[in-house]
Amino acid sequence: MDLRKVSSAAAALAIVMAARRSAADGGGRLLVYLHAAVKQRALQSALQDALAGVTVTAVGRIGDLDRSLKEGQDAVLSLPMVFAANGLTAKLQGLRQGAPDETYSLVGVNAPPDPAAVTAVGALDLLGRDGTNAFVSGMLGSQPKVERVTKVEDLLPLLQMEVVQAVLMATRFFAEVKGTSQLNLAARELPKRQPLPAVASVGPAGDAVVAAVSKLGGGALKVLGVDSWR
């Protein structure tokens, strides 16, 4: 047995464990998987600044979410549909104007799209290929081809390049997307609503992180698309 290798492995393990204890002692780790109208780095910075002592990591791809969960986290901030797909339970639900959910809109050019008529739709990749396809079909009541993107800002080019006939987005994103486009965008609000962002506890410091998030206010809440928690 090579004692030097054993010693090195033990030292490496000690460093990892110490880092995890340090993160927990400092307030825990918060993983954020949420598509916002700002870049992921800006989202992470806004939450990091508002959550003193909590280590915040924001990701925008489903693969990054899966990998980060395996690496260990204390709490996750995401959409309830993401929690359901991963067997997680929300402990803190976001609200806006007292409601725990929000509307989604189908956005096209020149006229509001007909959900039953569109054959190609752009959407944020919330749940991977199969999950996102199912989500879009459930919202529209039809089965169009779905082009998935990982950023809100990437939805508009799909319309500009005529890759799709319409894009699906949370209604709250429409004004900002419309303001950045020279296209004559038109939206049709869909009847089905979806829950707003929520927080789940997944690690030893989860309750502490959930408590910290529950005290967020101002700009940080606005970025998340909520104005209070319950």
Q: Which two tokens stand for residue 18?
A: 């110490």
Residues above pLDDT 90, as percent of the chain: 87
pLDDT band at 196 (very low <50, low <70, confident <90, very high): very high
Whole-number Å distance between alpha carbons of 126 and 85: 10
Is pLDDT above 50 for 20?
Answer: no
pLDDT band at 26 (very low <50, low <70, confident <90, very high): low
- Report pLDDT digits (tens) over 90-120: 999 999 999 999 999 999 999 999 999 999 9
pLDDT band at 22 (very low <50, low <70, confident <90, very high): very low
Tell me the domain boundaries of the chain. 3-94+196-229, 101-195
Token pair 């925008």 in the structure block, residue: 60
Is pLDDT above 80 for 203?
Answer: yes
Is pLDDT above 50 for 153?
Answer: yes
Whole-number Å distance between alpha carbons of 146 and 129: 9
Report in angstroms the alpha-carbon separations of 164 from 92, 106, 122, 172.
36, 12, 6, 21
Q: Give the pLDDT score at 8.
A: 44
Whole-number Å distance between alpha carbons of 141 and 191: 11
Q: Environment class of residue 77 by beta-carbon count within 10 Å: exposed (0-12), middle (13-18) or buried (19+)?
A: buried
**Overall average pLDDT of the 37-50 stretch:** 94
- Domain 3-94+196-229 matches domain 101-195 at the CATH topology level: yes
Q: Which of 78, 29, 75 is nearest to 55 (CA)?
A: 29
Is pLDDT above 70 for 11?
Answer: no
Type of residue numbered 75: A
Q: Mean pLDDT across the chain, nearest whole number?
A: 90
**Overall average pLDDT of the 157-162 stretch:** 97
pLDDT band at 55 (very low <50, low <70, confident <90, very high): very high
Domain 101-195: which CATH number of 3.40.30.10, 3.40.50.720, 3.40.190.10, 3.30.70.1140: 3.40.190.10
CATH topology of domain 3-94+196-229: D-Maltodextrin-Binding Protein; domain 2 (3.40.190)
Is pLDDT above 50 for 15?
Answer: no
Whole-number Å distance between alpha carbons of 214 and 190: 30
pTM for this structure?
Answer: 0.86
Q: Which two tokens stand for residue 112?
A: 């509001």
Q: Give the pLDDT score at 100.
A: 98
